[in-house]
Amino acid sequence: MTLRLDDVGLDVLHLQKRLNELGANPRLLPDGQFGEVTERAVRAFQQRAGLVVDGVAGPKTMAALSGHSTSRLLGQRDLQRAADRLGVPLASVMALNAVESRGEGFAANGRPVILFERHVMHERLQVNGLSEAEADALAARHPGLVSRRPGGYVGDTAEHQRLANARLLHDTAALESASWGLFQVMGYHWQALGYDTTQDFTERMARHEAEHLEAFVRFIEADPALHKALKGRKWAEFARRYNGPAYARNLYDVKLARAFEQFSDALQAAA
Cβ-based neighbour number of residue 35 at 10 Å: 16
Task: Give the per-residue pLDDT at 221.
Answer: 98
Task: Give the per-residue pLDDT at 207.
Answer: 97
Distance CA 93, CA 99 (A): 10
pLDDT digits (tens, 9 = 90+) for 108-136: 889 999 999 999 999 999 999 999 999 99
Distance CA 225, CA 248 (A): 19
Fold of 1-71: Muramoyl-pentapeptide Carboxypeptidase; domain 1 (1.10.101)
Task: Give the per-residue pLDDT at 258.
Answer: 97
pLDDT digits (tens, 9 = 90+) for 57-90: 999 999 999 999 999 999 999 999 999 999 999 9
pLDDT digits (tens, 9 = 90+) for 50-66: 999 999 999 999 999 99
Cβ pair 12, 37 in contact under 8 A: no
Task: Give the per-residue pLDDT at 1.
Answer: 85
Task: Give the per-residue pLDDT at 161.
Answer: 96
Task: Give the per-residue pLDDT at 219.
Answer: 98
Cβ-based neighbour number of residue 33 at 10 Å: 15
CA atoms within 13 A on the CB side of 114: 26
Task: Give the per-residue pLDDT at 109.
Answer: 87
Distance CA 237, CA 231 (A): 11
Instruction: Report the Cα–Cα distance between both ends of the chain, in Å, rounded.
Output: 29
Question: Phi and psi at residue 53, in whole multiples of 5°?
Answer: -95, 90
pLDDT band for position 242 (cuts 50, 70, 90) = very high
Task: Give the per-residue pLDDT at 269.
Answer: 86
Cβ pair 235, 248 in contact under 8 A: no
Residue 178: pLDDT above 90?
yes
Q: Per-domain residue ranges for the chain?
A: 1-71
Task: Give the per-residue pLDDT at 270.
Answer: 83
pLDDT digits (tens, 9 = 90+) for 248-267: 999 999 999 999 999 999 99
In this structure, which amino acid lies at residue 79?
L
Q: Which residues contact 209 (CB under 8 A, 6 or more apart)?
A: 72, 73, 74, 78, 105, 106, 181, 182
pLDDT digits (tens, 9 = 90+) for 195-216: 999 999 999 999 999 999 999 9
Task: Give the three-state DSSP class for 112.
Answer: strand
Q: Which residues contact 142 (CB under 8 A, 6 or more apart)?
A: 165, 166, 169
